[in-house]
């Protein structure tokens, strides 16, 4: 049984990695389409916004979803994109420091929370607070997280666990995933006992339940910035950026549990 579980974890991790590579390496840049590279956690909300904005923009955008870290590295390597939406400020800064974005277009678009989730049929209960016994809650299982050295959700999760004084007790139980949606899948399929994901991810996945929300002051603020890529020449890109900040886009993001940080146009 242990061997089967291990194989399952590895299979999901490999599948997630392959999906990320596919997502961020489009065959060719469609000159007549806006190309957006967006954090994986945005998928449900941004897909809805993309459809809603089509009338204003004149088209639906091509959106590639993956970990912000993977997307930033692909943009750095010359991958064709017009807009980047990161799940943290660090990876946006990584690109802007190299003059790969247009700083005057950068906007703090959305906010989020991180939560502790379990498979929907789990009986685990807890209160997330200083020194809570997370290791016992995980037991012999795994704690699914995004890669805590690069993926924003993983970085936020590690920061929260360190702040609460429990990181050292669970570090050896962590199953790192390529992005937050891959971590979510490990929990929903029962491959991991618990997971740390965004509140919006938990909202989108009926196979998990939230058993606790991490205090805001236990981790850096969760902010999703958006910016135009420096070499973008797509004429519809400004209209898409504007629509992302509109009232109708804000309403759709709120439905998924995001906090809207920009005033509506």
Residue 232, marked binder? no
Residue 224, marked binder? no
DSSP of 14-25, one letter per residue? Answer: HHHHHHHHHHT-
Task: Give the DSSP H or E segment for 203.
Answer: helix 199-204
Q: Is-contact 232 83, C-beta < 8 A?
A: yes
For residues 172 and 195, what is the distance between their CA atoms, to the nearest angstrom?
14
Tokens of 258: 């995001």
Q: Are strands 35-39 and 83-85 parallel, antiparallel or unpaired?
A: parallel
Q: Is-contact 213 113, C-beta < 8 A?
A: yes
Residue 24, marked binder? no
DSSP of 51-81, one letter per residue? Answer: HHHHHHHSSPPEEEEE-HHHHHHHHHTT---
Residue 68, marked binder? yes
For residues 27 and 18, what is the distance between their CA atoms, to the nearest angstrom?
15
Structure letter (DSSP) for residue 229: B
Compute how many other C-beta atoms are within 10 angstroms of the C-beta atom of residue 36: 25
Compute how many other C-beta atoms are within 10 angstroms of the C-beta atom of residue 251: 14
- Closest by alpha carbon to 66, among 186, 150, 143, 161? 150
> What Cα–Cα distance (Å) separates residue 83 from each residue in 57, 63, 139?
14, 9, 42
Residue 198, marked binder? yes
CA angle, 151 as apex, 146 and 153 as ends, to 5°? Answer: 60
Annotated binding site: 41, 68, 153, 180, 198
Annotated binding site for molybdate: 41, 68, 153, 180, 198
């Amino acid at each position: 049984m242990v061997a089967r579980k291990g194989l399952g974890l590895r299979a999901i991790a490999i599948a997630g990695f392959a999906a990320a590579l596919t997502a961020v390496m489009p065959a060719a840049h469609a000159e007549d389409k806006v190309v957006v590279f967006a954090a994986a956690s945005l998928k449900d909300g941004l897909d809805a916004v993309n459809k809603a904005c089509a009338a204003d923009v004149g088209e639906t955008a091509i959106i590639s979803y993956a970990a912000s870290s993977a997307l930033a590295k692909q943009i750095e390597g010359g991958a064709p994109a017009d807009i980047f939406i990161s799940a943290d400020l660090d990876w946006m800064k990584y690109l802007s420091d190299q003059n790969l974005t247009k700083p005057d277009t950068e906007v703090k678009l959305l906010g989020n929370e991180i939560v502790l989730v379990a498979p929907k049929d789990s009986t685990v209960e807890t209160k997330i607070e200083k020194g809570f016994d997370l290791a016992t809650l995980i037991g012999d299982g795994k704690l699914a997280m995004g890669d805590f050295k690069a993926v924003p959700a993983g970085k936020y999760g590690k920061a929260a666990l360190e702040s609460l004084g429990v990181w050292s007790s669970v570090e050896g139980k962590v199953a790192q995933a390529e992005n937050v949606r891959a971590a979510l899948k490990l929990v929903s399929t029962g491959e991991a006992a618990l997971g740390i994901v965004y509140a919006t991810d938990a909202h989108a996945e009926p196979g998990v339940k939230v058993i606790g929300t991490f205090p805001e002051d236990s981790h850096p603020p969760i902010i999703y910035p958006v910016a135009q890529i420096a070499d973008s020449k797509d004429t519809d890109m400004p209209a898409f950026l504007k629509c992302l900040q509109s009232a109708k886009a804000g309403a759709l993001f709120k439905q998924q549990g995001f906090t809207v940080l920009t005033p509506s146009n």
